[in-house]
Amino acid sequence: MSQRSGSDPRAQLPLFDPTQLPVEPARRPHLPSRAEEREPSPAVTPTAQAKPAATGPGETVHAGALQGLPPHRGGVLKWIGNKHRVAASIVATLPKDFSLYLEPFVGSGAVLAELAPRVAIASDVLAPLVAIHTQVQRDATGLVEAYRERVVASEASGSREGKEAHFRAVRARYNATPNADDLLFLARTCYGGVIRFSARGDMNTPCGVHKPIRAETLAARIAAWQPRVAGVRFEVADFEATLDRAGPGALVYCDPPYSDSEGTLYGAQAFSLQRLLAAIERAKARGARVALSIDGTKRSGRKIIDLALPERLFESESLVDVGRSMLRRFQMEGQTLEDERVADRLLLTWPT
Ligand SMILES: C[S@@+](CC[C@H](N)C(=O)[O-])C[C@H]1O[C@@H](n2cnc3c(N)ncnc32)[C@H](O)[C@@H]1O
């Protein structure tokens, strides 16, 4: 499966100007009916120019983010490397006065949903993953029903062997024709949400041992998720194309594939850290602020991933503990790795 666009995206995509978008109110939590699903939904819910909003003496909120949303629990997608557990800490580190939010490695969108930006572009190189996000916005009933059908068929297959055979059949269908419905089921039922591809581009993760969440739980999570992503335009794009749209006032959060361990995950074959750092440098020079999550320490902090970072590109950093590594557990064939802890470095192009 080819997951990169071949042309130079910078030749086609101008800096994104949120003030040029028509204004409409944020949508409410809502699973659309079949009739509604057929209508095209607006891609972006924009905002007026963002300003820090005072909430009390000396206190500010994210002016670039939607306010007063009910809390959400649990992600729509199970995705290796997701930031669900630490999304609140990451968001707390981000500035509050941005006019446009960009997330070029959106994955399952943990930070995106936690932040709930008013105007955003979120992209990923994996097209069926992006299709899941757009269906959550536009066609959630269809997505939930497709998930329900697969879970029911899996349960009806009875034995462990039957479930594995059903999983392999869905995986084969996905590999023949990559699509959102099958990917959502595979991500929710495969081993640890590890979306791993063979050199040929086939998803090859085995069936997990856990019981997948029920369709009703998925529907509830989507309902809580929808208002949080109402202002987001989801796009299939290489990270460089998205980063190159960040102008003054933009905030970018990058969560790329781990440089030392995720070479065969998602569409990570197309990823290059040097290319990312160069794009961040250009975005910073244009006046955007960029936060980058990257491998920090592994094995109880004993191993420090050594990266050659351009001098003065990042002006501050913090360590975020992300817990035990699901990927290492997968690589070690299910052993419990008691001392396997991972901490991400959060590098910031601005001083704190
Ligand atoms: C570590 S995951 C992001 C996880 C996300 N923060 C979350 O909470 O789920 C990295 C993502 O980068 C995507 N990716 C890999 N190579 C890419 C590229 N060249 N351009 C854009 N996205 C890419 C993968 O498909 C994957 O979803």
Report the pLDDT value the prediction gives residue 310, as an integer from 0 to 100.
Answer: 87
What global pTM score does this model have? 0.79
Is residue 283 within 8 A of residue 250, CB to CB? The reply is: yes
Measuring from atom 26 of ligand 1, which residue has the nearest CA?
A: 107
244 part of a folded domain: no
Report the pLDDT value the prediction gives residue 302, as an integer from 0 to 100.
Answer: 43
207 contacts: CB under 8 Å, gap ≥ 6: 163, 164, 167, 168, 189, 190, 191
CA distance 88 to 300: 23
Q: What's the gap in Å between 256 CA and the centre of ligand 1? A: 5
Q: What's the gap in Å between 126 CA and the centre of ligand 1? A: 8
Query: Tens-digit pLDDT profile for the chain (352 aa)?
Result: 333 333 443 344 455 544 443 333 333 323 333 333 333 333 333 333 334 444 445 455 677 999 888 888 889 998 888 899 899 999 999 998 999 999 999 999 999 999 999 999 999 999 999 999 999 999 899 999 999 999 999 999 989 899 999 999 999 999 999 999 999 999 999 987 788 888 788 999 999 989 999 999 999 999 999 999 999 999 999 999 999 999 999 999 999 986 544 445 555 556 788 899 999 999 999 999 999 998 655 443 444 455 678 889 999 998 777 665 554 455 555 554 445 556 778 999 999 8
126 lines ligand 1 (CB under 6 A): yes
Q: What's the gap in Å between 183 CA and the centre of ligand 1? A: 15
Measuring from atom 24 of ligand 1, which residue has the nearest CA?
A: 266
Output phi, psi for 120, to 5 deg: -155, 155
Based on the structure, what is the number of domains in the chain? 1
Q: Which atom of ligand 1 is the closest one to the Cα of 77?
A: 9
List 289's β-bridge partners, or say none: 251
284 part of a folded domain: no
Is residue 246 within 8 A of residue 283, CB to CB? The reply is: yes
Question: Environment class of residue 27 by beta-carbon count within 10 Å: exposed (0-12), middle (13-18) or buried (19+)?
Answer: middle
103 part of a folded domain: no
Q: Which residue, 320, 313, 325, is CA-closest to 276?
A: 313
324 part of a folded domain: no
Is residue 189 within 8 A of residue 213, CB to CB? The reply is: no
Q: What's the gap in Å between 39 CA and the centre of ligand 1? A: 29
> Which structural domain, as residue segments, surrounds residue 184?
141-216
Q: What's the gap in Å between 291 CA and the centre of ligand 1? A: 15
Helix and strand element counts for the chain (H, E): 11, 10
Q: What's the gap in Å between 267 CA and the centre of ligand 1? A: 8
155 part of a folded domain: yes
Q: Which residue, 8, 229, 281, is CA-closest to 122?
A: 229
348 part of a folded domain: no
Q: Which of 4, 123, 124, 239 to mutate to test the pocket of ligand 1 (most atoms within 8 A of CB)?
A: 124
Q: What is the per-residue burial (b if ≥16 Cβ within 10 Å, else e) of 163-184?
A: beebbeebbeebbeebebbbbb
Report the pLDDT value the prediction gives residue 266, as an integer from 0 to 100.
Answer: 56
Task: Write out the two tokens for 333.
Answer: 């064939």
Q: Where are the alpha helices (DSSP H) in the chain?
A: 34-38, 87-93, 110-115, 127-138, 140-156, 160-176, 180-189, 215-225, 239-243, 273-285, 326-331
79 lines ligand 1 (CB under 6 A): yes
Report the pLDDT value the prediction gives residue 273, as an integer from 0 to 100.
Answer: 86
Task: Write out the two tokens for 10.
Answer: 């910078």
Q: What's the gap in Å between 205 CA and the centre of ligand 1? A: 17
Report the pLDDT value the prediction gives residue 54, as an integer from 0 to 100.
Answer: 46
Report the pLDDT value the prediction gives residue 282, as an integer from 0 to 100.
Answer: 98
Measuring from atom 23 of ligand 1, which residue has the nearest CA?
A: 125
Here the CATH number for the domain that contains residue 150 is: 1.10.1020.10
Q: Which of 80, 85, 105, 130 to mutate to test the pocket of ligand 1 (most atoms within 8 A of CB)?
A: 105
- Half-sphere CA count of 38, side-chain side, radius 13 A: 2
158 part of a folded domain: yes
193 part of a folded domain: yes
Report the pLDDT value the prediction gives residue 305, as an integer from 0 to 100.
Answer: 52
Q: Which of 266, 294, 320 to mutate to test the pocket of ligand 1 (most atoms within 8 A of CB)?
A: 266
Task: Write out the two tokens for 98.
Answer: 């941005």
CA distance 122 to 99: 14
